[in-house]
Amino acid sequence: MAGQAQPMIEVWRGGRCESAHLGHAVVMGTDGEVREAWGDPAAIIYPRSSCKMVQALPLLETGAGASLNREQLALACASHNGAAIHTERVSRWLADLGLGDDDLRCGTQWPDDRPASIGLIKTDASPCQIHNNCSGKHAGFLTLSQHLRGGPEYVEPDHPVQMAVRATFEEVTGESSPGYGIDGCSAPNFATSVTGLARAMAAFAGARADGDGRARAMVALREAMAAHPDLVAGEGRACTELMRAMGGKVSIKTGAEAVFVAILPEQGLGIALKIVDGGTRASEAAITALLARYGALDPQHPAAQKRLGAPILNRRDIPTGEVRLSPGFP
């Protein structure tokens, strides 16, 4: 990753800085102008799961997802916990397509949801692909693939689904992607700059329901995410808890290796950030700070304090340290 990353988040214990996390962040207005930036705005990153709303755009723009409801659209953008509220809905979606778990190409994953995990253990069952955190996105891919009459291997980079995703991704980021990596769910993940990712989020923020087809698709996806934060991630997760704290006015999404994005329609802003060491604790603290900075999140809300502000407790509930913002950020 080119350029100089900037210190963003620190962890203190006993009066000393124990850990420091560096990163890049860009806040862009719907007019295409960068409002603020930290680190190297041109740093090339993999957005990972933070760009699922972009990957879902062709699903709506082609008309393939015209009959999908808001819950399904939220799941198309989700990195879910594999709870019953997620897997039951994905299973029904696949059944509506005349498909099943074997048609997915995301791979099996043990659910992060504790009741679901305990349920599998008690019945000596194995997780299925629907438990994969990306199964909703893949149900969307399969819906688009049927519409495009594509073959079963919809995650291949030269499949019509992924070609449509790449074209859309490059259009909304405003950049030609320099390449892709294969994501944890086996789909290609196209690289872009932090600025490009922020530009895409700003486009979502500025989209209007009375706009063109792409604008309407963007509105539908961002509103589905904000209306169903429980489906986008799950209980205890930052995306779910922070979106709830913001009352359905902001859509946010994390990605593996400490990427985080936010869509702020009322403020007319898109935000993208990347912590270079891949530390999720730091990316959650950094997005919390930026959401508070722009008036979208009350920094005293318990969901915000959980990520930035509350003391770190040990196993006896004794305060041992704290997560702090680095000087100069944000």
pTM: 0.96
Query: Is residue 77 a part of any domain in this protein?
Result: yes
pLDDT in tens, 240-281: 999 999 999 999 999 999 999 999 999 999 999 999 999 999
Q: Determine the pLDDT at residue 28.
A: 98
Query: Is residue 76 a part of any domain in this protein?
Result: yes
Residue 75 CB contacts under 8 Å (≥ 6 apart), including other chains = 86, 89, 90, 93, 135, 136, 137, 139, 140, 231
pLDDT in tens, 79-132: 999 999 999 999 999 999 999 999 999 999 999 999 999 999 999 999 999 999
Q: Determine the pLDDT at residue 204.
A: 98
Query: Is residue 3 a part of any domain in this protein?
Result: no
Q: Determine the pLDDT at residue 128.
A: 97
C-alpha to C-alpha distance for 234 and 80, rounded to whole angstroms: 6
Query: Is residue 246 a part of any domain in this protein?
Result: yes
- Tokens 């997760």 belong to 237
Query: Is residue 308 a part of any domain in this protein?
Result: no
Give the residues of the chain that fall short of pLDDT 70. 1-2
The number of distinct structural domains making up the chain is 1
CATH number at residue 257: 3.40.710
Query: Is residue 7 a part of any domain in this protein?
Result: no
Query: Is residue 19 a part of any domain in this protein?
Result: no
Q: Determine the pLDDT at residue 1.
A: 42
Torsion of CA 143, 76, 259, 290, to 10 degrees: 140
Q: Determine the pLDDT at residue 327.
A: 96
Q: Determine the pLDDT at residue 313.
A: 96
Query: Is residue 324 a part of any domain in this protein?
Result: no
- What range defines the domain where residue 181 resides? 25-279
